[in-house]
Structure 1
Amino acid sequence: MPDKLATIAFDADDTLWENEEFFRITQDRFAELLADFTEADHLAERLLAAERRNLGHYGFGIKGFVLSMIETAIEVTEERVPAAVISELIAAGQEMLHHPIHLLDGVEETVGALAETHKILLVTKGDLLDQERKLAQSGLGELFDGVEVVSAKTPEVYRTLFARHGVAPERAMMVGNSVKSDVLPPIEVGAWGVHVPHNITWAIEHAEAPEGHPRYRSLASLRDLPELIGSL
């Protein structure tokens, strides 16, 4: 297979390192701060609606998340949210932006091994500065032949970036924790889509897996990826 599969692209957040866990911790704090104004379940629904609404304005990442929390706080309190609460939300976002990187199990060994036999790309959504910071802190930067921070993961985005890196889609594989972003679009353009589930998945990233598709695979751990590649 190495002479056929030329390029392996990896998602970053919740594929290589922890991410959604820190959003959930901050969202729990958000609920505590607004407990006197609304029920936690209702607040979560309003926040998710704000995040969906704001993706086109702020994109993916911590900064957009913080702005959506502030917007939601203003809405649910009918503009009565105390300035101290807004300050705490901003501080929580700044803490997230400085949180140390926690690599997931088997990442360093797996990416390192595959980098010796394939062209390796990082393809991630999110804020450019934050993703650059996380990659630098991860210690994985030198393993990647290319890094793509994109505003969305659509079929056209994958088609364009594969072309930019000189690989035909059928000789490329995308590996990530989101079926919606890391599996379905690559498969649509002819690449492989490999799902490595994370224990927490953002609601906006949920999608049905393409069970039975010849270019779809699901793995329990990233450690299983080299064996999968060898068996294709």
Structure 2
Amino acid sequence: MSLSITTIGFDADDTLWQNEQFFRTSEGQFASLLAPHVDTTDLSDRLLAVEKRNLDLYGFGIKGFTLSLVETALEVSEGNVPASVIAEILAAGREMLRHPVETLPQVRETLAQLTERYRLVLITKGDLFDQERKLAQSGLGDFFDAVEIVSSKDTTTYERIFKRHGDGATRSMMIGNSLKSDVVPAIEAGSWGVFVPHELTWALEHVEAPIGATRFRQIEHLGELPPLLREIG
């Protein structure tokens, strides 16, 4: 039986369009807002700890990030941060939710080429409304045969999705900028995992690359994906 690839999964944030840079900008604004009220020396570490603590409650996305900003502000100021600062934090979160989608280079051309031969599945985690908004604004929706917005990405997630929308994990490939969420669990499920590094990746998504894995590959941008697929066969 042929084991050629028939289905390709794509991560969305920082794989198809920009995302993390808006979180970093908001974090910078957050530090500026708090600077008159608290020592911001270890503010990024304090925020990251709160985000990590809240993941199981809020999940991934802008709304959970905004709530973590508010919680961090209250925590580091011992409840003394002015209400006006909280209001500005909430306003920054709303602005992130309204920000236009910026697709990354060679995304549209690559998807247009691949959709003629493969089943393409968007596999993204985060807030349902926000991910649906970004997909609609990106104009990329028509390239995908299916869209899966999930709360987490693990081995079971890829086994289930590639069975539902393809010919199983062994005949599938997952593309993304997160080794932890996109690449390693897909490989563990039996798929190919292709790492496309982004200059900004959230600290909680960092793990070691599975260099020794037979089905691991790394490319610099999505334009290198069609040649890679031809090489794999």
Supply the AA of the counterpart residue of 1:149.
I
Cα distance in 2 between the residues matched to 1:80 and 1:181 = 37
**Conservation of the 8 A alpha-carbon contact between 2:6 and 2:166:** no
Supply the AA of the counterpart residue of 1:229.
L
Cα distance in 2 between the residues matched to 1:90 and 1:61 = 14
**Conservation of the 8 A alpha-carbon contact between 2:3 and 2:170:** no
Cα distance in 2 between the residues matched to 1:53 and 1:181 = 18
**CA deviation string 1:91-110 (max 9, x = no partner):** 00000001001000000000
Which stretches of structure 1, 4 residues or more, deviate above 6 A after TM superposition? none
Tell me the residue number matched to 1:97.
97
Cα distance in 1 between the residues matched to 2:126 and 2:229 = 28
- My pick for the range that moved more, 30-39 or 56-65, is 30-39
**Conservation of the 8 A alpha-carbon contact between 1:37 and 1:76:** no
SS of corresponding position for 1:100 = coil
Instruction: Name the CA shift for 1:41/1:104 in 2 (closer, same or farther; >3 Å).
Output: farther
Cα distance in 2 between the residues matched to 1:216 and 1:153 = 17
Q: Does 1:121 align with 2:99?
A: no
Q: Does 1:214 align with 2:180?
A: no
Instruction: Name the CA shift for 1:166/1:223 in 2 (closer, same or farther; >3 Å).
Output: closer
Tell me the residue number matched to 2:175.
175
Tell me the residue number matched to 2:155.
155
Supply the AA of the counterpart residue of 2:210.
P
Identity of aligned residues (%): 56
Matches within 5 A, 1:196-207: 196-207=196-207
Supply the AA of the counterpart residue of 2:119.
K
**Conservation of the 8 A alpha-carbon contact between 1:170 and 1:192:** yes
**Conservation of the 8 A alpha-carbon contact between 2:177 and 2:196:** yes
C-alpha deviation, 1:36, in angstroms: 2.3
- My pick for the range that moved more, 39-48 or 27-36, is 39-48
Per the normalisation by structure 2, the TM-score is 0.97
Cα distance in 2 between the residues matched to 1:42 and 1:127 = 28
Cα distance in 1 between the residues matched to 2:146 and 2:192 = 18
C-alpha deviation, 1:164, in angstroms: 1.6
Tell me the residue number matched to 1:17.
17
**Conservation of the 8 A alpha-carbon contact between 1:7 and 1:172:** yes
Per the normalisation by structure 1, the TM-score is 0.97
SS of corresponding position for 2:42 = helix
Cα distance in 1 between the residues matched to 2:202 and 2:33 = 22
Tell me the residue number matched to 2:79.
79
List runs of 5+ in structure 1 lacking aligned partners: none
**CA deviation string 1:108-165 (max 9, x = no partner):** 0001110111000000011000000000000000110000000000101111111221
- My pick for the range that moved more, 158-167 or 57-66, is 158-167
Cα distance in 2 between the residues matched to 1:187 and 1:55 = 24
Question: How many residues are aligned here?
Answer: 231
Tell me the residue number matched to 1:146.
146
C-alpha deviation, 1:3, in angstroms: 7.7
**Conservation of the 8 A alpha-carbon contact between 2:166 and 2:172:** no
C-alpha deviation, 1:190, in angstroms: 0.3
Cα distance in 2 between the residues matched to 1:216 and 1:125 = 22
List runs of 5+ in structure 2 lacking aligned partners: none
**Conservation of the 8 A alpha-carbon contact between 1:120 and 1:143:** yes
